[in-house]
Amino acid sequence: MSYCLNPNCHNPYNPTTNKFCQHCGSKLLLKDRYRALKQIGEGGFGKTFLAVDEDIPSKPDCVIKQFLPQAQGTTNVEKATKLFEQEAIQLDTLGKHDQIPKLLAHFEQDGRLYLLQEFVDGQNLAEELTEKGVFNEQQIRQLLQSLLPVLHFIYKHKVIHRDIKPENIIRRRKDSQLVLVDFGAAKFANEKPLNQTGTIIGTPGYAAPEQGFGKANFSSDLYSLGVTCLHLLTNIEPFQLLDASNDEWVWRDYLNHPVSFELGQILDKLVQEAVKERYQSAAEVLQDLNPAGAAKPKRQGLKLVEIGDKYGYIDNNGQLIIGLHFEKGRHFSEGLAGVKLGNKWGYIDKNGRWIIPPQFSQVGDLCEGLAPFKITQWLGMRQKWGYLNNQGQVVIPPQFNEALNFAEGLAVVRLGSCWGFINLKGELVIQPQFDKAYSFSQGLARVSIGLKWGYINQSGQMVIPPRDNGRDFSEDLAAVEINHKWGYINQKGILTIQPSFNAALDFSEGLAPVLQEIKLLKLLNIGERWGYVNKSGGMLIEPQFEWALGFSEGLAAVKKNEKWGYINKVGLMIIPPRFDLAGYFRDGMAEVVMNGACRYIDKRGNFIY
């Protein structure tokens, strides 16, 4: 179906094959490539249509915005035109962020202005609220964690959105990531006010009070984000949540689910009427939201600790639960941990009881119900690897020269000098043929033939041809090396971030550490530094660190001035550099090394053990 874009056409529906409207004769394709399919929205500035780009073989969906201002009078139309033109500028500037739609085109045709942008396939939060009901605290925290870095990004470009509301936040279907849309009301922070008489900016109820006077600032968007959270928590319209007679928010009266004191304080500060009493930046909100400012986490698991030459396990409060009895230890996985007593390995449970007595020369982790083990002798065979279950029963007899943990139903094993893959029954499903192989991640495994690395699927087919080097897939992207530079490919092997970095690590929580040369005035090379890019390749945290790890639980370990500390997702140093080594946060704790001793810290940087 083709949809005629002539606003005066009384019957806009046409067969897909038509190039001209059969009712009014208007040209159906914009720029001879964009075909409208149906109208999906209408507002004060015009109409929005779902369309396809027929110039690209896959015919991807896109969005057409047609400028048709309803404002009356020359002055008001001029203001509306400026806003529409401005939206194109905003998208062109901001579309590098993975959570903002990309601008595809901007032009005039048949005397009307058009804007073409990326189509975000998903459901907006207003629709999600209607379909699934009110949000709980965890969902609100996830929303804030996802969108605050986006606001930080647009503020770095001096842009204020001015119309944040549930309808303008879309949960992208392919990855559940939140995308901020509709920059039609956005403005640059150094512009003169546009919303004088006759031009409405923002949505009543969500817009901050100062927007009514043409004085929007960065905290205005934070106000709107706060109101959005209150609406999603209650499913009550914003005007009803504000008691005008007492000038106070009464959103707690409408809650179906309790909200913690900490989150309630954050939401209250977001929606303060007075600008000076409100959060002034997205970074400030993230600082309060992330557990760097929260209480100690509840006990969720046990952590391996080493004191002297002995190993034991502590809980998240630093209490020693399983004493320092062992020569070596592994982390808990599926309820069991491998530990070494004397010169043999076995497995204990979280109460410290032996589930599988010490009898192996080496062990791996219990994954998908099986754990690899190495035994000195088994039915006349020496130094071979097999697999056992959580009761200690041998499920796959020792027969491999090396064996790794199971992942996605398959495990990497070595027979002779070549690597292949077995299933949970021990059957070779991908014959040993690779010089090296790694576990499956997101349906693909990295393998090498000679000095080149490619990716196979679970049938053993090489679906992404070998390149110089590569890393495993994470969050649908993998780092690859081409001609001594690193970039990122998607699961079809297409380069989505061109090779331009000296090194690149995996994506986690939407960001990846990359190593880049730093030059002063484009002439003096002052060395290499690590920074962080998003999935579109935009540098969200500028290169400044001597080393960097991926994000976990909102924080990432970075090395600066020879010491390690932790930053949040907008690059603020939350835990100052003072450690010799630092690891990832898990269940609110991270392992660090200081003065030669292994310790654990919480998200405030305080030592737990």
Predicted confidence at residue 195, as pLDDT, reads 41
- Give CA separation, 14 vs 24, 29, 136, 416, 519, in Å: 11, 12, 45, 65, 56
Predicted confidence at residue 108, as pLDDT, reads 82
Across the range 26-30, mean pLDDT stands at: 92
410: helix, coil or strand? Answer: strand
Say which residues have a Cβ less than 8 Å from residue 546's Cβ, sequence separation at least 6: 529, 530, 559, 560, 561, 562
What value does the CA radius of gyration of the chain take, rounded to a whole number of Å?
28
Cα distance between residue 269 and residue 281, in whole Å? 12
Q: In this predicted model, what pLDDT tens digit does every residue of 489-525 receive, in sequence order?
A: 999 999 999 999 999 999 999 999 999 988 665 555 5
| Residue 233 confidence (pLDDT) above 70 | yes
Say what angle helices 125-132 and 218-234 make with each other, to 10 degrees.
Answer: 20
Considering the candidates 163, 315, 365, 602, report the single residue annotated as catalytic. 163
Nearest to 327 by CA among 314, 337, 349, 312: 312
pLDDT bracket for residue 24 (50, 70, 90): very high
User: Residue 224 — φ and ψ, nearest 5°?
Assistant: -65, -35
pLDDT bracket for residue 198 (50, 70, 90): very low
Cα distance between residue 215 and residue 208, in whole Å? 10
Q: What percent of the chain has pLDDT over 70?
A: 89
User: With contact defined as beta carbons under 8 Å apart, do 101 and 94 qualify?
Assistant: no
Cα distance between residue 134 and residue 213, in whole Å? 32
Predicted confidence at residue 169, as pLDDT, reads 96
Across the range 209-224, mean pLDDT stands at: 88
Cα distance between residue 465 and residue 455, in whole Å? 7
Let me know if 602 is a catalytic residue: no
| Residue 101 confidence (pLDDT) above 90 | no
pLDDT bracket for residue 73 (50, 70, 90): very low
Across the range 110-127, mean pLDDT stands at: 89
Predicted confidence at residue 524, as pLDDT, reads 55
What pTM, to 2 d.p., does this model score? Answer: 0.73
Nearest to 565 by CA among 580, 550, 586, 553: 580
Compute the C-alpha angle 25/30/34, nearest 5°: 120
Pair of tokens at residue 524: 């003096």
| Residue 170 confidence (pLDDT) above 90 | yes
Pair of tokens at residue 209: 């009070």
| Residue 196 confidence (pLDDT) above 60 | no
Cα distance between residue 297 and residue 581, in whole Å? 22
Q: In this predicted model, what pLDDT tens digit does every residue of 354-375 receive, in sequence order?
A: 999 999 999 999 999 999 999 8
Known binder of ligand: residue 79?
no
Predicted confidence at residue 525, as pLDDT, reads 55
Cβ-defined contacts of 48-53 (< 8 Å, 24+): 49/3, 49/5, 50/119, 51/116, 51/119, 53/104
Q: Which domains does the chain have, with CATH numbers?
A: 2-118 (3.30.200.20), 122-289 (1.10.510.10)
Across the range 293-307, mean pLDDT stands at: 61
| Residue 353 confidence (pLDDT) above 70 | yes
Cα distance between residue 104 and residue 116, in whole Å? 5
Say which residues have a Cβ less than 8 Å from residue 535's Cβ, sequence separation at least 6: 98, 475, 477, 488, 496, 497, 507, 510
Say which residues have a Cβ less than 8 Å from residue 524's Cβ, sequence separation at least 6: none
Say which residues have a Cβ less than 8 Å from residue 172's Cβ, sequence separation at least 6: 120, 121, 122, 178, 179
Specify the pairing of strand 337-341 against strand 328-329. antiparallel
Pair of tokens at residue 30: 């914009």
Cα distance between residue 282 and residue 219, in whole Å? 8
Across the range 65-92, mean pLDDT stands at: 62
| Residue 296 confidence (pLDDT) above 70 | no
| Residue 308 confidence (pLDDT) above 60 | yes
Most confident of 159-163, 345-349, 383-387: 345-349
**Helices marked H in 235-281:** 238-241, 261-270
Task: Tell me the one-letter amino acid at 120.
Answer: V
| Residue 322 confidence (pLDDT) above 80 | yes
Q: What percent of the chain has pLDDT over 90?
A: 63
| Residue 2 confidence (pLDDT) above 70 | yes
Predicted confidence at residue 159, as pLDDT, reads 85
pLDDT bracket for residue 384 (50, 70, 90): very high
Cα distance between residue 565 and residue 217, in whole Å? 32
| Residue 84 confidence (pLDDT) above 50 | yes
Pair of tokens at residue 279: 């959060």
pLDDT bracket for residue 316 (50, 70, 90): confident
Say which residues have a Cβ less than 8 Å from residue 381's Cβ, sequence separation at least 6: 398, 399
Largest CA distance in the chain: 94
Q: In this predicted model, what pLDDT tens digit does every residue of 536-577 receive, in sequence order?
A: 899 999 999 999 999 999 999 999 999 999 999 999 999 999
Residue carrying structure tokens 């001597």: 546
Nearest to 229 by CA among 183, 169, 273: 169
DSSP 331-389: --BTTBEEEEETTEEEEE-TTS-EEEEEEESEE---BTTBEEEEEEEETTEEEEEEEE-
Q: In this predicted model, what pLDDT tens digit does every residue of 58-70 receive, in sequence order?
A: 889 999 988 876 5
Across the range 398-421, mean pLDDT stands at: 95
Say which residues have a Cβ less than 8 Å from residue 346's Cβ, sequence separation at least 6: 338, 339, 354, 355, 356, 357, 358, 359, 360, 363
Predicted confidence at residue 81, as pLDDT, reads 60
On average, the pLDDT of the chain sits at 87
